Amino acid sequence: MEQQPIRRHIANAYVIDPASGFEGRQDLFIAAGRIAGRGEAPAGFAADEYIDAGGLMLCPGLVDLRARLREPGEELHGDMQSELRAAVAGGITSVGCPPDTLPVADQVSVIRHQLGRAAELGLARVHPLAALTQGLAGQHLAEMALLLAAGAVGVSNGDRAIAHSGILRSALEYAASLPATVFLHSEDAQLGKGDMHEGEVSTRLGLPGHPAAAEAIGVARDLLLAELTGARVHFQHLSSAAALDQLRPALLRLPVSADASVAHLHLTHYDVGYFNTHAKTCPPLRTHRDRDALRAALRTGQISAITSDHAPWHEDASRDTFHNAAAGISGLDTFLPLVLRLVDEGVLSLAQAIERVTLGPARILGIPAGTLAVGAPADLCLFDPEARFIVQPQRFHSRGKNTPFGGWELRGVVRQTYVGGRLVFRGNED
C-alpha cells in the first residue's frame, strides 16, 4: 500500500462522469488525494507519475450499497481483507455493509471494528449500516443514535423483515428523529417463508413457494408507515413487478428510494434449474415479467441503484439440500461486467449504467462519492471495456465462489482502482 499520496496525470482515458453529464476523452489530474483538475493541468502542476490510459474508460469508483464482508464472526466465508480485496479488484471503492454480522452490528464495538479494520487495510471505504433492532430480532429497538455517532451511515434489519407493525413504526419514528435512512427488506413474514419463487418451477421441484405477493404486501405496509412517521426509507433488493406497482406512486410524494440486485436484473426462477443452490437468493429470483419490470424501473430511475448484494459462502454452505442451503451470491467479482451486460442488452445507456453504480448509490448512502468533480476525493475506476473473459469462480478474489454466472462470457476488466488518490489495485493486462 502506498504510504503517501502522489501527483498523477491520467491521460487519454474515455471519461464518464454522471454527476456532470460529461462523457468523452479527457485528462485527469490527482494531487493530495483529490481530483486537482480535468482537461487542462492546474497551474504549477508537476506529475510524479504519468499514466497513458488510451483504450480505457475512467469513471468514479463504484459504490456498492450492500456487500457482506463476513467480519466479525463469519471468517470461514470471508473476511474484510479478502472481500475488500475483491471489491477494489472490481473497481468498487465504497461499500455499504449490512448489520448481519456475528455479533450483530447493534453494538458500537462492531461499528468501530469495521471502520478500524477498513482503515488498517487501506482498500475500499467501508460504510456500516447499524442494526434497526437488537439482534435483528424485530423485538426491541437498537441504540441507533449511539451507532450512528460511532460511524454508521444508516440503519437496517438486514434481510429480516420486521413482522410487528407497531415495533416498525417505533423504529421509523426513532430513525426519523435522528434523522437516519432506514434500509428495509420488505415482505410479509408469514408468506415469505418459501424456498424459491412460487410458480411452475417451485411446483415441479416440490419446493415451498415464496409468492411475489409477500413482497408487495410488505412494501405496501412499509410505505404507509413511512408516510405516517416521516422516515426516509430505502427498499433493498426489490424483486417483483407487484412491489414496484406499490412503490411507483409513492416515489412522487415520499422520501423513498429502491435498488435491485444485479442478479435479479439478469436471472429468473428458471435459473434454479434442478436445485441449483447457487441460484438461491433472498428475495428469490422471480419470473421474466418481474425481471423485465425491474429493468424498466431501472431505466426510468424509479430504481436508482444496482447492488451486488454480495453474500460469500464457503462451498459447504451450497452443498446442502436446496431447502437448507444458504441464500446469496458472491457478487463483487462479476459486478461491473454484469452491469455492462445490461448496456449490451439495451437496458441502459453506458452513462445510465455507470450512474446507477456510482452517483445513485452514493446519494442513498449520503456519502461524498460517485463524482469526478474537481476537489472531490480521487476514488477512481479505470477499466478496459472491451476485454472479454469467461467467469471462472475459482479465480475470484472473494473467498466465496458461490455464483450462478460461472461459464458466462462477459466484458469489462478493471485495470486500476484508486481510493483517495492511492493505487489500491492494479490488474494484469493480458
Dump pLDDT digits (tens) for 282-308.
999 999 999 999 999 999 999 999 999
**What is the bridge-based pairing of β-strands 196-197 and 209-210?**
parallel
pLDDT band at 429 (very low <50, low <70, confident <90, very high): low
Q: Determine the Cα–Cα distance for residues 43 and 61; give it in Å rounded to an integer.
A: 26
> Does the pLDDT of residue 237 top 80, yes or no?
yes
Q: Residue 143: exposed, middle, or buried by beta-carbon count in 10 A (0-12, 13-18, 19+)?
A: middle
Query: What angle in degrees, to the nearest 10, is found between the helix axes of 80-89 and 108-121?
Result: 50
Predicted local distance difference test score (pLDDT) of residue 5 = 57
65-104 pLDDT, tens digit each = 999 999 999 999 999 999 999 999 999 999 999 999 999 9
pLDDT for res 322: 95
pTM, rounded to two decimals? 0.96
Catalytic residue (one of 309, 320, 333, 344):
309
pLDDT at 53 over 70: yes
Residues 112, 132: Cα–Cα separation, whole Å: 17
For β-strands 182-184 and 154-156, DSSP reports them as parallel
- Give residue-wise pLDDT tens across range 310-328: 999 999 888 889 999 999 9
Question: Which three three-digit cell numbers place residue 243?
Answer: 412491489
Residue 309 among the catalytic residues: yes
Helix 241-250, helix 212-229: angle, nearest 10: 20
State the cell numbers at 419. Answer: 481510493
Confidence tier at 1 by pLDDT (50, 70, 90): low
Average pLDDT on 181-187 reads 98
With 0-12 CB in 10 A as exposed, 13-18 as middle and 19+ as buried, what is 395?
Answer: exposed
DSSP state of 15: E
Q: Are 237 and 264 in contact (CB under 8 A)?
A: yes
Assess contact for 36 and 376: CB atoms under 8 A.
Answer: no
